A and B are shown apart, each in its own frame.
Chain A
Amino acid sequence: MSVAALEITPNYYLVVGALLFTIGAVGLLLRRNVLVMFMCVELMLNAANLTFVTFSRALNDIGGQVIVFFTLVVAAAEVAVGLAIIVAIFRRRRGATADDVHLLRG
C-alpha cells in the first residue's frame, strides 16, 4: 500500500481502542492512588465507546452510538458514587491509596 493512498479502515480505530483498553487495564494494576485507578477505569470505558462507534459506522447501525450514551450515563453515576466512597474513606484514614483500605485483610 502506498503512503499517498492510505485509507483509514475501521481496523485502525479498533487497534487504537484495544491499545487504550490495555493501557487502562495496566494502569489499574500498576497504580496505588485510588483516584488514578478511577481514571484508568474511565480510559477503559472510553476504549469500549470508541469500539462501539467504530462498529456503528462499519456496520451502518446507529445502535452503537446509542449504547455509547448509556455507557456515558453509567460512567457518570459510577464516578459520582466512587468519588463519594473515596471521600468517605479519606475522612477516616487520611490516605487515598489502595493500601489504606485493608480492614478486611486476614
Chain B
Amino acid sequence: MTVEAVIFFVAAALALGGAAGVVLARNPVHCALLLVVTLVAVAIFFLLQEAQLVAAVQIIVYAGAIVVLFLFVIMLLGVDREESLKDPIPYQRPAAVALGAILLGEIFVLAGRTWATGATSTRGSVRGPVDGQDLGNIQRVARVLFTDFLWAFELTAALLVIAVVGSVVLARRSGQRAQLDEREQAVEEQITQAELSEAAENGSYLGDGERPSETPRVTS
C-alpha cells in the first residue's frame, strides 16, 4: 500500500469513528471531544488533497474556536450529564436509522448517475504554473478569493457583524425586555410545573435530574 493509502484509511477510520461517537456518546462533553477527532481527520483529508490552507483553517477555526465555544456553553449551562435513553416518541430511532439508510442510498444513486457530471470551471488551478509562475496553495486561493469572489468575501464581513450583534442581543436582557421576560417566565413556569407533575407520574422526564423546584429568576 502506498503512504497515501495508509494515511487515508487511518484518517477515514478516525473520521467515521469520531462521527459515530458524536451520535452515540451520551455525555455532551464526550460528543464535543469526539467531534474534534472527526475534524482533525477531515483536516488530514484536506492535506492529502493539496488543500494546505483549508486544512490549517479547519484546525484553527473548527477545533480551536467552534468546539471550544461548544464546550464553553456546555459548561456554562451545566448540561454535562448523561442523557436519558428513554425514547418518548415510539419508533423514532428505527425510523431515523431507516431514513439515514435511504439518504445514503439516494446520495450514491444520484452521485453515480446524475449529478457528478465532471464539468469544470475556469476559476484557477490547484496544480501547475499560473501565468508562468509556480504559486503556493495560499497564493492560489487568495488570487481567486480577492478577484472572482470579492463581492461574496465582503458579504461575509457583513454576515459576521450581523451574527455578532444577533448573539449579543439574544444573550442579554435588560430594561423593558426584562419586565416582559418576567411575565413570559411566569407563564413558562406554570407550564414547567404542569410538565413536571405529569412527568413525575410517568417517570419519563428526559431533562436534568436535579431540576430545582422553582425556576431561578435572573434579575437585571
Q: How far is the CA of A100 from the CA of B32 in the complex (A)?
A: 22
Count residues on chain B whose CB falls below 8 Å from chain A CBs.
99
Given A35-B28, A66-B141, A70-B152, the answer on whether A20 and B120 have CB atoms closer than 8 Å is no
Chain A residue with the shortest CB-CB distance to B49: A57
Does B121 sit within 8 A of A, measured CB to CB?
yes
Pairwise interchain contact A29-B99, C-beta atoms closer than 8 A: yes
Q: Judge whether B200 is part of the interface by a CB distance below 8 angstroms.
A: no
In the complex where A18-B107, A33-B83 touch, is A8 in contact with B15 (Cβ < 8 A)?
A: no
The reply to whether A84 and B171 form a contact with Cβ atoms under 8 Å apart is: yes
Shortest beta-carbon distance from B96 to chain A in Å? 4
CB-CB < 8 A to B171: which residues of A?
84, 87-88
A75–B108 CA distance with the chains assembled, in angstroms:
25
Are A22 and B103 in touch, CB under 8 angstroms? Answer: yes
Kindly state whether residue B57 has any CB partner on chain A within 8 Å: yes
Binary A-proximity of B96-117 (CB < 8 A = 1, otherwise 0) = 1101110110011001000000
Interface size class on chain A is 35 or more
Name the distance in Å between A28's Cβ and chain B's nearest Cβ.
9
Q: Residues of A contacting B53 with CB < 8 Å? A: 65
Partner of A33 from B61, B79, B118 at Cβ < 8 Å:
B79
Contact of A79 with B38 at beta-carbon distance under 8 Å, contacts A65-B51, A73-B156 already known: no
Q: How far is the CA of A49 from the CA of B168 in the complex (A)?
A: 28
Query: CA of A22 to CA of B19 in the docked complex: distance in angstroms?
Result: 10
Q: A81-B166, A88-B170, A94-B208 are in contact. Are A60 and B83 (CB under 8 A)?
A: no
Q: Are B22 and A22 in contact (CB under 8 A)?
A: no
Binary contact readout A28-49 vs B (1 if CB under 8 angstroms, 0 otherwise): 0111110110111011001001
Residue ID in chain B nearest A99 by CB atoms: B206
Residues 40-82 of B, flagged 1 when their CB comes within 8 A of A and 0 if not, give: 0010011011110110011001100110011001101101000
Say yes or no: B49 contacts A87, CB within 8 Å: no
Most buried by B among A35, A36, A77, A103: A36
Q: With A and B bound together, what is the CA distance between A29 and B50 in angstroms?
A: 34
Check if B219 is an interface residue, CB within 8 A of chain A.
no
Give Cα distance in the complex from A85 to B171, angstroms. Answer: 7
Q: Is the CB of B192 within 8 A of A93?
A: yes
Asked if residues B42 and A56 are in contact (CB atoms below 8 Å), the reply is no
Q: Is B194 an interface residue (CB 8 A)?
A: no
Bound complex: CA of A8 vs CA of B104, how far in Å?
A: 21
Name 5 A/B residue pairs within 8 A (Cβ), A-sorted. Answer: A12-B12, A16-B16, A46-B38, A49-B58, A93-B192
Q: Which 4 pairs, one residue from A and one from B, show the smallest C-beta to C-beta distance?
A: A29-B96, A26-B100, A27-B23, A77-B163
Instruction: Give chain B's interface residues, CB within 8 Å of chain A.
Output: 1-2, 4-5, 8, 12, 15-16, 19-20, 22-23, 28, 31-32, 35, 38-39, 42, 45-46, 48-51, 53-54, 57-58, 61-62, 65-66, 69-70, 73-74, 76-77, 79, 83, 88, 92-93, 95-97, 99-101, 103-104, 107-108, 111, 118, 120-128, 137, 140-141, 143-145, 148-149, 152, 156, 159-160, 162-164, 166-168, 170-171, 173, 181, 184-185, 188, 191-192, 206-208, 211-212, 215, 218
